[in-house]
């Protein structure tokens, strides 16, 4: 697991090399094994200096999150962490120099080992990432990161890195002072050795162990740093509404810890760390953003035995907002794109969208002009269906109209190879129905992208009644190729994401209709951790579109249509011509050059009720309605894996990440109390809150969605 060798010159090399894993991680096996080698190197008088490095392509990926997710006992965890803390202090005070030879990615605990070393040299590997990203999964760097980094580079530079969890390439890490030197990969070990021999002896005492040490830029009370905490706290509150304990704890660690000596500071950090480990927020974020998303990206549900599909050419029908975005991300993945619209001008306009995105990147020096030109050369605008010949996949993103979609399906299939697959990006029309236009319904599937395509990570893959396993597997291969995260759902009205996301918006509309103050509704949404309030979202989506979809649904379902609670509000608003943001008139007004504000006319249209609900009650309604609808989706087998429901909700419509997603919310509230809450809400507000049988049965059997 950890190799150890001492050469004739007294240079010891400790090499991380965990046999059973693709990446080195810190866990209950590797930490003691590493500590043992560190102790041996310190004890051995013949050893003059020590290199810490890795035999794998990367250095150390960080702590084993599976281990941290299981922590329930903060006191026990504190004890376990002592050994690691002591070991890192032993390195610092060894009386012989330690150098970190960072050959690849060094994150979290992996980088914290580097921080304890006396010198850090990184290989110039542009793929390597260096940093302390713990905050992104609800944790903080618990191996001294919040103490050593500010003491090394100053509080002002360290805090944003810790709070945003930024990962830097070696050159950027050098600029920020995270590493001391960057060298070509083949010179890494030689340079480490040279430093130990020539400079090691001069650098044996860490600055913070020297008398009179001062933090660069000053301690937390210094005039330059104190405002960082004051403004930082306020900004954090404004952005997160206190939903994330981790950034707050990081600020506390840096503030409290940097006023005292390093050993006391490390103890302070450890206390905050173990507390965070036991929070539901950390468990939720680790579960959904790390494990469940990892599974989705690995295509865990891809039907086996289907050879991996390579894509060389993809056709996109409709070069509007969605088609243009899909063309862009496809070309970005190195695939030729045939971009078809009804006029060449429209098709060219779709390509111009890519040009705009790329020009901006070139300006920001994030893409070279050559790369831009190569990417653009891969997009061929056309109006001729014959140009689709040779495409392995065609995705239609034409108007949301059954007849038009059927027409383009037939015309595309006429020139495609029988093995090619055809995907619809429809947001509302059931896939099995659209597949009726296809001569090969087994090759027909839904690929539901989100807007703006280049920024939204999720693709919801919809399996129609006749979609074959091979088609599903090949569609998943495409999503992976364009580096997005797929979830797979079965066909149903609104699929999973639109259906559940719609309940959030409708609940907001319903409350408005009941006389709840619009500002209360909007603030409650944001306080719950949603990116925007439900009324603002309705404006973004466009009330007109929601109205149109509702009409279509009524027509399709006939007597089976169940009115949504916000239907009347929608009707009234559309009647008044307040159709949303694109008309600059919706629940909000959008004064030119100013921030949007709630439309004062709402007061007349929806008079306030005499008694207003507590904010907690509004939050509960807005959030529970999404989870209970998700449970229905699982019961109806629209969603087959709770982890995908979680990932889809967080990536698809920004469901509060600290709650871990729609299913994790049920799990962390506890199944029994979630059911009780739903029953209470159902009694007061209607059957849409009634807990489905699935939940009751699970509770009766003592089951839960997740083990941890
Ligand atoms: P859009 O109106 O911006 O673009 C549609 C494009 O299709 C236009 O450029 C139009 O000229 C072209 N078109 C129409 N008939 C055609 C035909 N017979 N042959 C070739 N091209 C034709 O619409 P948008 O927003 O891009 O939506 C497209 C599809 O994506 C719709 O099915 C929509 O429901 C779906 N969708 C939209 C999302 C959104 O946020 N706007 C999100 C996810 C899916």
Predicted confidence (pLDDT) at residue 563 exceeds the cutoff of 90: no
Mean pLDDT on 226-241? 93
Which of 315, 316, 319, 320 for a ligand 1 pocket mutation test, highest count of atoms within 8 Å of Cβ?
320
Q: Whose CA is nearest to atom 17 of ligand 1?
A: 342
Please state at what angle helix 262-277 crosses helix 74-92, rounded to 10 degrees. 150
Q: Could you tell me where the DSSP H helices lie in 394-496?
A: 402-413, 431-434, 469-481
Mean pLDDT on 589-616? 96
Mean pLDDT on 644-657? 98
Q: Whose CA is nearest to atom 35 of ligand 1?
A: 426
**447, 461 contact by CB (below 8 A):** yes
**625, 619 contact by CB (below 8 A):** no
Predicted confidence (pLDDT) at residue 76 exceeds the cutoff of 90: no
Predicted confidence (pLDDT) at residue 333 exceeds the cutoff of 90: yes
Q: Report how far Cα 217 is from the mean position of its chain's Cα atoms.
A: 33
Q: Verify whether ligand 1 is closer than 6 Å to residue 580 (CB atom).
A: no
DSSP state of 300: T
Residue 399 alpha carbon to ligand 1 centre in Å: 4
Residue 329 alpha carbon to ligand 1 centre in Å: 16
Q: Verify whether ligand 1 is closer than 6 Å to residue 540 (CB atom).
A: no
Q: Verify whether ligand 1 is closer than 6 Å to residue 406 (CB atom).
A: no
CA distances from 190 to 13, 201, 427 (A): 12, 17, 57
Residue 549 alpha carbon to ligand 1 centre in Å: 15
Taking alpha carbons only, the member of 499, 526, 507 closest to residue 629 is 499
Mean pLDDT taken over the chain: 96
Q: What is the pLDDT of residue 564?
A: 84
Lowest-pLDDT choice from 118-122, 192-196, 227-231, 374-378? 227-231
Mean pLDDT on 465-472? 98
What atom in ligand 1 is closest to the CA of residue 407?
Answer: 18
**646, 664 contact by CB (below 8 A):** yes
What atom in ligand 1 is closest to the CA of residue 424?
Answer: 32
Q: What is the pLDDT of residue 696?
A: 97
Residue 448 annotated as catalytic: yes
pLDDT in tens, 574-597: 999 999 998 999 999 999 999 999
Residue 122 alpha carbon to ligand 1 centre in Å: 48
The structural domains of the chain, ordered by start, are 2-278 (3.90.226.10), 313-491 (3.40.50.720), 498-637+641-700 (1.10.1040.50)
Predicted confidence (pLDDT) at residue 424 exceeds the cutoff of 90: yes
Specify which residues 461 forms β-bridges with: 447, 488
Cα-based angle 394, 430, 304 (whole degrees, multiple of 5) = 60
Q: What is the pLDDT of residue 46?
A: 96
Please state at what angle helix 109-116 crosses helix 74-92, rounded to 10 degrees. 40
**493, 553 contact by CB (below 8 A):** yes
Mean pLDDT on 175-181? 98
What atom in ligand 1 is closest to the CA of residue 318?
Answer: 7
Reported confidence tier of residue 99, pLDDT bands at 50, 70, 90 = very high
Mean pLDDT on 410-431? 96
What atom in ligand 1 is closest to the CA of residue 324?
Answer: 26
Q: Whose CA is nearest to atom 39 of ligand 1?
A: 451
Q: What is the pLDDT of residue 552?
A: 84
Among 272, 448, 547, 667, which one carries the catalytic annotation? 448
Reported confidence tier of residue 485, pLDDT bands at 50, 70, 90 = very high
Residue 669 CA to residue 648 CA, distance in Å, equals 20
Q: What is the pLDDT of residue 20?
A: 86
Predicted confidence (pLDDT) at residue 74 exceeds the cutoff of 90: no
Reported confidence tier of residue 308, pLDDT bands at 50, 70, 90 = very high
pLDDT in tens, 19-51: 989 999 999 999 999 999 999 999 999 999 999
Q: What is the pLDDT of residue 123?
A: 98
**487, 644 contact by CB (below 8 A):** yes
**E strands in 469-598:** 485-490, 588-589, 597-598
Q: Report percent pLDDT > 90 for the chain.
A: 92
**539, 587 contact by CB (below 8 A):** yes
Residue 134 CA to residue 290 CA, distance in Å, equals 11
Lowest-pLDDT choice from 68-72, 101-105, 638-642? 68-72
Q: What is the pLDDT of residue 457?
A: 97
Q: What is the pLDDT of residue 70?
A: 87
Output the 3-class SS for 284-345: HHHHHHHHHHHHHHCCCCCCCCCCCCCCCEEEEECCCHHHHHHHHHHHHCCCEEEEECCCHH
Q: Report how far Cα 476 is from the mean position of its chain's Cα atoms.
A: 19
CA distances from 472 to 307, 417, 443, 465, 486 (A): 12, 17, 9, 12, 11
Q: What is the pLDDT of residue 369?
A: 96
Residue 441 CA to residue 558 CA, distance in Å, equals 26
Q: Is 278 helix (H, G, I), strand (E, B) or coil?
A: coil
Residue 646 CA to residue 652 CA, distance in Å, equals 10
Predicted confidence (pLDDT) at residue 77 exceeds the cutoff of 90: no
Q: Verify whether ligand 1 is closer than 6 Å to residue 319 (CB atom).
A: yes
Mean pLDDT on 283-291? 97
Burial of 555 (0-12, 13-18, 19+ CB in 10 A): exposed
Mean pLDDT on 205-231? 95
Reported confidence tier of residue 493, pLDDT bands at 50, 70, 90 = confident
Q: What is the pLDDT of residue 553?
A: 86
Residue 70 CA to residue 497 CA, distance in Å, equals 30
Q: What is the pLDDT of residue 71?
A: 86
Q: What end-to-end distance do the CA atoms of the chain give, in Å? A: 28
Q: What is the pLDDT of residue 394?
A: 98
Q: Is 393 helix (H, G, I), strand (E, B) or coil?
A: strand
Q: What is the pLDDT of residue 556?
A: 86
Predicted confidence (pLDDT) at residue 428 exceeds the cutoff of 90: no
């Amino acid at each position: 697991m950890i190799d150890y060798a001492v050469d004739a010159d007294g240079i010891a090399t400790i090499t991380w090399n965990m046999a059973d894993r693709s990446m080195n991680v810190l866990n209950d096996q590797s930490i003691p094994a590493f500590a043992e080698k560190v102790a041996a190197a310190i004890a051995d008088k013949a050893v003059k200096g020590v290199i810490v490095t890795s035999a794998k392509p990367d250095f150390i990926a960080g702590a084993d999150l599976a281990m941290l997710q299981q922590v329930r006992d903060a006191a026990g965890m504190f004890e376990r962490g002592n050994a690691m803390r002591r070991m890192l202090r032993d390195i610092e005070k060894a009386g012989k120099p330690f150098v970190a030879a960072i050959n690849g990615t060094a994150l979290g605990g992996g980088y914290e080992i580097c921080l304890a070393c006396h010198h850090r040299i990184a290989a110039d590997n542009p793929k390597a990432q260096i940093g302390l990203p713990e905050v992104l999964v609800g944790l903080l760097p618990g191996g001294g990161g919040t103490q050593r980094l500010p003491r090394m580079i100053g509080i002002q530079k360290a805090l944003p890195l810790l709070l945003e969890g930024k990962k830097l390439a070696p050159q950027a890490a050098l600029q920020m002072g995270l590493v001391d030197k960057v060298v070509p990969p083949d010179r890494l070990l030689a340079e480490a050795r040279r430093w130990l021999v020539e400079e090691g002896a001069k650098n044996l005492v860490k600055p913070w162990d020297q008398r009179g040490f001062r933090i660069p830029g000053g301690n937390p009370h210094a005039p330059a740093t104190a405002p960082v905490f004051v403004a930082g706290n306020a900004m954090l509150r404004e952005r997160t509404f206190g939903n994330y304990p981790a950034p707050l704890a990081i600020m506390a660690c840096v503030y409290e810890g940097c006023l005292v000596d390093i050993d006391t500071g490390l103890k302070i950090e450890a206390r905050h760390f173990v507390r965070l480990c036991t929070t539901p927020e950390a468990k939720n974020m680790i579960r959904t953003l790390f494990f469940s998303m990892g599974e989705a990206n690995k295509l865990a549900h891809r039907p086996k035995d289907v050879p991996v599909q390579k894509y060389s050419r993809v056709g996109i029908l409709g070069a509007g907002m969605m088609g243009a975005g899909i063309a862009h991300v496809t070309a970005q993945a190195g695939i030729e794109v045939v971009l078809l619209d009804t006029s060449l001008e429209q098709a060219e306009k779709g390509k111009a969208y890519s040009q705009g995105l790329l020009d901006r990147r070139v300006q920001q020096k994030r893409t070279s002009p050559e790369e831009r030109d190569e990417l653009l050369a891969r997009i061929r605008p056309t109006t001729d269906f014959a140009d689709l010949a040779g495409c392995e996949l065609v995705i239609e993103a034409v108007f949301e109209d059954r007849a038009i979609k059927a027409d383009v399906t037939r015309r595309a299939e006429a020139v495609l190879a029988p093995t090619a697959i055809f995907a619809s990006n429809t947001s509302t029309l059931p896939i099995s129905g659209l597949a009726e236009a296809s001569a090969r319904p087994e090759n027909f599937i839904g690929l539901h992208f989100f807007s703006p395509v280049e920024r939204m990570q999720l693709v919801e893959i919809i399996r129609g009644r006749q979609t074959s396993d091979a088609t599903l597997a090949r569609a998943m291969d495409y999503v992976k190729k364009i580096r997005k995260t797929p979830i797979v759902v079965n066909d149903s009205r609104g699929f999973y994401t639109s259906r559940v996301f719609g309940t959030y918006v409708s609940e907001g509309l319903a409350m408005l209709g009941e006389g709840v103050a619009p500002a209360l509704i909007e603030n409650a949404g944001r306080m719950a951790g949603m990116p925007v309030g439900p009324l603002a979202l309705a404006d973004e989506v466009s009330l007109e579109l929601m109205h149109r979809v509702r009409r279509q649904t009524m027509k399709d379902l006939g007597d089976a249509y169940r009115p949504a609670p916000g239907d009347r509000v929608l009707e009234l608003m559309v009647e008044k011509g307040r159709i949303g943001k694109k008309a600059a008139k919706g629940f909000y007004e959008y004064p030119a050059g100013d921030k949007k504000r709630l439309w004062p006319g709402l007061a007349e249209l929806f008079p306030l009720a005499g008694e207003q609900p507590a904010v907690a009650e509004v939050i509960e309604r807005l959030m529970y309605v999404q989870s209970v609808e998700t449970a229905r989706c699982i019961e109806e087998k629209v969603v087959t894996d709770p982890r995908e429901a979680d990932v889809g909700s967080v990536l698809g419509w920004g469901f509060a990440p600290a709650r871990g997603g729609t299913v994790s919310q049920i799990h962390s509230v506890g199944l029994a109390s979630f059911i009780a809450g739903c029953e209470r809400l159902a009694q007061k507000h209607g059957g849409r809150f009634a807990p489905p049988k699935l939940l009751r049965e699970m509770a009766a059997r003592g089951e839960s969605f997740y083990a941890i």
